[in-house]
C-alpha cells in the first residue's frame, strides 16, 4: 500500500478554487487538519454557512482530487462553519467575528450547518427506504448498540430487508459487532456501496477510520458525515434502516434527530432508576422534534443463571415497563443480562444469527415483531406519513 503524504494531498487540493474562484482552497486557509488513516483521508473545509449549499460542488471537487492521489481509496470531506485550528480565517465569512472553537473532544452545539435545510424546508426521505428508525438511549453503556444490532438482525430474520446506519460517529461499534472489516467500495464518483453482513447492509464511520482513532468532530462535520452516510450510500430497497444513535440527549443528538427523516425512535434503557430518568430525557428529545417514540426496550432486565436457568432480578426489573405504561408508550420487551450476549458481540457474532435457536434470539425476534407492528401496523409510523419536521 502506498503511504499517503499530506503534502501530496495539499498539492492536489491546491487545484481546487475557492468560493469566489479566486485563489485555491489551501491558500485561502479553508482546509482543516487532514486525518490520514490507512487508505482513507478525512478533513473539512471551512465555509460561510450561508453559502454551504452552493459550495457543495467545491466539496465534491476536493473529494475528487484527493481520491485521485495514489494510495487514497476513501475520502470524506465535510463542509464546516468552524475555523480549523491554526489556519487563516476563512475569507468567506465576510470578516465576521471568529466562531467559538470547542476544545478537542468536546461536542459543539449545533451551529448553522453545512447542508442545513433553509428554514421551514422539510427533510426528504431516502428513496427506496420505507422506514428509518433510531435506536437511542439517554446515556452510554446501557447496551444500545448491542440491542440495535440484534434487533436489526431480528427484523431481518422476521423477513424484513434491513440496513444499519451507525450514527455513533464518536464511538462507531458496528464493524466490531457485525464482525466486518474492509472499506465500502465506491459505486460511482459519489455513492458508496454499503458493507454487508448476515444479509444486512451496514454503513459506519468505523469503516473509514479505525475504531480506536479518536476523531474530533465539530457540530457541522457530524451532520455532514451523517448526511453522506444516509444519502450517498446505495442502500437499495429497504423495509427498515436502523440508526444506532450516539448515546445521550445533547445538542448533537437533537440535531441528528432533526436532520434524519425518522419514522420513529426506540429507546433502550436499563431498569435502574437513574437510567430511566435518562430514558425520559430521550423521550422528551424525540418529542421535541416530533418523532414518535415506538417503544421502550428494557435491556439487562434480569439475570438468568447460566447453570440453573433461574431468573434473578438484581436490578429492580420492570422499571422500564412501569415507566412506559405511565408515559403511554408501548413497552416492546425485556432482554436479560446474559454473558453469551456480550461474548458473542465481542466476537462479531451477534446472538440472533450465531445461536438463532436460543431463547435470547427468540426474545429479540419477538421485540422486533412488536416494534414492526408499531412501524408497519395499522396507524403505524409507515402507514401514516411521518410528521414533517420543521427546522427553526
Q: Which residues of this protein are in contact with ligand ADP, per CB under 6 A?
A: 137, 140-146, 173, 247, 299-300, 335, 337-338, 341-342, 345
* Minimum distance, C-beta of residue 152 to ligand ADP, in the bound complex (Å): 13
* Minimum distance, C-beta of residue 306 to ligand ADP, in the bound complex (Å): 11
How many whole angstroms separate alpha carbon 67 and alpha carbon 192?
13
Nearer to ligand ADP, 82 or 168 (CB): 168
DSSP strand pairing (331-337 vs 311-312): unpaired
Nearer to ligand ADP, 66 or 368 (CB): 368
How many whole angstroms separate alpha carbon 287 and alpha carbon 281?
10
Nearer to ligand ADP, 166 or 239 (CB): 166
* Minimum distance, C-beta of residue 226 to ligand ADP, in the bound complex (Å): 17
- Work out the number of other CB atoms within 10 angstroms of the CB of residue 182: 8
* Minimum distance, C-beta of residue 363 to ligand ADP, in the bound complex (Å): 9
Q: Work out the burial of residue 98: count CB atoms within 10 Å of its CB; fewer than 13 is exposed, 13-18 middle, 19 or more buried.
A: exposed
* Minimum distance, C-beta of residue 166 to ligand ADP, in the bound complex (Å): 10
Q: Work out the burial of residue 120: count CB atoms within 10 Å of its CB; fewer than 13 is exposed, 13-18 middle, 19 or more buried.
A: exposed
* Minimum distance, C-beta of residue 341 to ligand ADP, in the bound complex (Å): 4
Nearer to ligand ADP, 48 or 338 (CB): 338
Helices 251-259 and 219-231, axial angle in degrees (round to 10)? 30
Helices 273-288 and 319-327, axial angle in degrees (round to 10)? 30
Question: Residue 57 has which C-alpha cell?
Answer: 460542488
Nearer to ligand ADP, 168 or 323 (CB): 168
* Minimum distance, C-beta of residue 249 to ligand ADP, in the bound complex (Å): 13
Residue 289 near residue 389, CB atoms below 8 Å? yes
Nearer to ligand ADP, 100 or 342 (CB): 342
Name the residue number minimizing CB distance to ligand ADP: 143
How many whole angstroms separate alpha carbon 294 and alpha carbon 185?
34
Nearer to ligand ADP, 171 or 387 (CB): 171
Nearest residue to 142 via CA among 341, 310, 367: 341
Amino acid at each position: 500500500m502506498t503511504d499517503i503524504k499530506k503534502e501530496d494531498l495539499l498539492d492536489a487540493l491546491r487545484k481546487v478554487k475557492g468560493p469566489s474562484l479566486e485563489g485555491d482552497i489551501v491558500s485561502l486557509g479553508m482546509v482543516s487538519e487532514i486525518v490520514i488513516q490507512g487508505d482513507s483521508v478525512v478533513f473539512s473545509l471551512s465555509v460561510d454557512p450561508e453559502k454551504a449549499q452552493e459550495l457543495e460542488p467545491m466539496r465534491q471537487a476536493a473529494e475528487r482530487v484527493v481520491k485521485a492521489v495514489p494510495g487514497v481509496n476513501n475520502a470524506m470531506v465535510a463542509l464546516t462553519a468552524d475555523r480549523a485550528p491554526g489556519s487563516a480565517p476563512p475569507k468567506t465569512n465576510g470578516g465576521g467575528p471568529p466562531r467559538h472553537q470547542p476544545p478537542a473532544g468536546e461536542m459543539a452545539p449545533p451551529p448553522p450547518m453545512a447542508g442545513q435545510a433553509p428554514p421551514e424546508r422539510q427533510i426528504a426521505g431516502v428513496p427506496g427506504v420505507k422506514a428509518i428508525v433510531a435506536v437511542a438511549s439517554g446515556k452510554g453503556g446501557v447496551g444500545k448498540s448491542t440491542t440495535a444490532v440484534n434487533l436489526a438482525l431480528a427484523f431481518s430474520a422476521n423477513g424484513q430487508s434491513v440496513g444499519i446506519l451507525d450514527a455513533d460517529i464518536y464511538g462507531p461499534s458496528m464493524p466490531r459487532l457485525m464482525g466486518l472489516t474492509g472499506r465500502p467500495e465506491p459505486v460511482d464518483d459519489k455513492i458508496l456501496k454499503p458493507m454487508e453482513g448476515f444479509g444486512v447492509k451496514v454503513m459506519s464511520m468505523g469503516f473509514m477510520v479505525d475504531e480506536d482513532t479518536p476523531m474530533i468532530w465539530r457540530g457541522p462535520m457530524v451532520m455532514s458525515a451523517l448526511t453522506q452516510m444516509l444519502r450517498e450510500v446505495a442502500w437499495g430497497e429497504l423495509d427498515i434502516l436502523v440508526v444506532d444513535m450516539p448515546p445521550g440527549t445533547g445538542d448533537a443528538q437533537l440535531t441528528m434527530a432533526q436532520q434524519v427523516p425518522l419514522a420513529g425512535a426506540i429507546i433502550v434503557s436499563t431498569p435502574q432508576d437513574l437510567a430511566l430518568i435518562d430514558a425520559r430525557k430521550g423521550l422528551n428529545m424525540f418529542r421535541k422534534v416530533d418523532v414518535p417514540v415506538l417503544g421502550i426496550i428494557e435491556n439487562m432486565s434480569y439475570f438468568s443463571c447460566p447453570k440453573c436457568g433461574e431468573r434473578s432480578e438484581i436490578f429492580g426489573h420492570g422499571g422500564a415497563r412501569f415507566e412506559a405504561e405511565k408515559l403511554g408508550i408501548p413497552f416492546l420487551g425485556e432482554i436479560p443480562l446474559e454473558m453469551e450476549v456480550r461474548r458473542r458481540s465481542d466476537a462479531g457474532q451477534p446472538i440472533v444469527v450465531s445461536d438463532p435457536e436460543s431463547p435470547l434470539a427468540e426474545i429479540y425476534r419477538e421485540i422486533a415483531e412488536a416494534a414492526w407492528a408499531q412501524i408497519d401496523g395499522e396507524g403505524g409510523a409507515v402507514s401514516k406519513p411521518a410528521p414533517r419536521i420543521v427546522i427553526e
